[in-house]
Amino acid sequence: MSKERKLLIENPIVAFVVFMGLFMGSNFIVVEGTVQYTLYAFQLISLFYMLIVYVFKFKISIYFLLVISFIGVRIFSNVYNGLPIYFVLTQSVTILLSVLFVEILGRKNPKVLLQSIFWGLLIANVINFISIYALPDGFYLDEAYPPRRVFLFGIANQQGIVLLFSIGIFLLVSKKEKGLKRILALFGAISVLINCFIIGSSTLILATALLLMYILFILSTRLYKFISMTSMVILYYISWILIVVVKISQYMSLLFVDILGKSTDLNFRTILWDKALTIISFKPFLGYGTTDGLYITRIIGTTVVRQSSHNLFLQLLLEGGVVTLTVFTIILLVSARKLSKYNSDHYAAILSISVIAILFLSISEVYTGMAPLYILISMTYMYPHIREYLVDSDKHVFPKNLKQSIWLGEYK
């Protein structure tokens, strides 16, 4: 019997190039216009190839159909509101390419999937780390008020999604690999953690602390059997309501004012959230469409400032209404349910807390079109396939009856 021919995307170099094209186009904020257009053209070519491969080589998954529905609703919202669809299509290419990249390689070659992401993030974070210290004032100042320093991955909170994504991937690799790769992965995770705290974003610090506490404390107890990603997603939605709608920050001055040195309105974010909720109430079902000019205004002194809603879910409601947020929620829950079947895996726990940490960070920022979010969610859905590569012996799984040591150690 002849050996099955490998797909082009299974070549480690090709996979690495595709990931870097996807990642740079989504998260390298400082690339020039010509480079940006080149990256976008490369993404379109990659997407065309992967769509052909996926349709003719694989059974279409429920997850993929949900993602298509999510994109379709956002496009329909633009058409309904009489807006051009260029901007939403640009984001859709990133989303769809992220999903197909993970689905195809997750099924065919999860090792190449993880390794291409790992090396890509390692190189990108080294460049970012060097640029931060070589150019402490950033590449340039943005047009916000007041102006802010822009680095390779953007300003403070914009960098957060890449940093948390990187930590999650580095921890997965450090747990799986041996020797030099483990050392590089641990070094990468530690350096990124340091960057998270140096940047000084309160939300990023809290999201990083959440990730660390989960790994260092919860994973070292028997509580794992009671904690699934599904329950974490539900808990996140409850937290979102308490923070965004109820505004519990105004009752937590000790944390935000005394410890983090911020105001209880979270640097005017609660004001933006209130305005966003009011605007959403006028078009709750299909929203206002996705454009690069959908902003909320607020006044600072005599200056009128235009800003985003500074919240992922509010932005989804603004752009596509309740319908869009509902489809996105279903995508999250379907993926979480897949991962929740493997509560006993270290890898599943790392993956789930990485997604939740990014969602927590998105309470104060908008990441609707950024690849890391959709890559991680897709990896949770594809975990049964990815697990075949990650879990090659019982030592990677929580013991049922034996006393366990710390998560990075061996079990007795």
**Cis-peptide, bond into residue 372, ω within 30° of zero:** no
Residue 127 is encoded by which pair of tokens? 């460049």
Beta bridge partners of 397: 345
Q: How far apart are CA 251 and CA 248, in angstroms?
A: 5
Residue 144: per-residue pLDDT: 57
b/e map 295-326, b = 16+ CB within 10 Å: ebeeeeeeeebebbbbbbbbbbbbbbbebbbe
- Let me know: does 387 contact 347? Beta carbons within 8 Å: yes
H or E element: which one contains 126? helix 110-134
Q: How far apart are CA 370 and CA 276, in angstroms?
A: 21
Residue 304 is encoded by which pair of tokens? 């009128």
H or E element: which one contains 27? helix 12-27
Q: How far apart are CA 206 and CA 255, in angstroms?
A: 10
Q: pLDDT tens, position by position, for the chain (412 residues)?
A: 446 678 889 899 999 999 999 888 777 766 666 777 888 889 999 999 999 999 998 899 999 999 999 999 999 999 998 888 888 888 899 999 999 999 999 999 999 999 999 999 999 888 887 877 777 666 666 665 456 666 677 776 678 888 889 999 998 898 888 888 889 998 888 888 887 777 767 777 778 877 887 777 666 666 666 678 888 899 899 988 988 888 776 666 655 555 556 666 666 777 888 888 888 888 888 988 887 655 555 444 444 445 667 888 988 998 899 999 999 999 999 999 998 888 778 888 889 889 998 898 888 877 777 888 999 999 999 999 998 888 764 444 444 433 333 333 333 3
Residue 13: per-residue pLDDT: 94
Rg (CA), the chain: 21
Quote the pTM value. 0.86
- Let me know: does 315 contact 373? Beta carbons within 8 Å: no
Helices (H), 177-201: 179-199
First-to-final CA distance of the chain: 43
Residue 327: per-residue pLDDT: 96
Residue 301: per-residue pLDDT: 42
Residue 52: per-residue pLDDT: 94
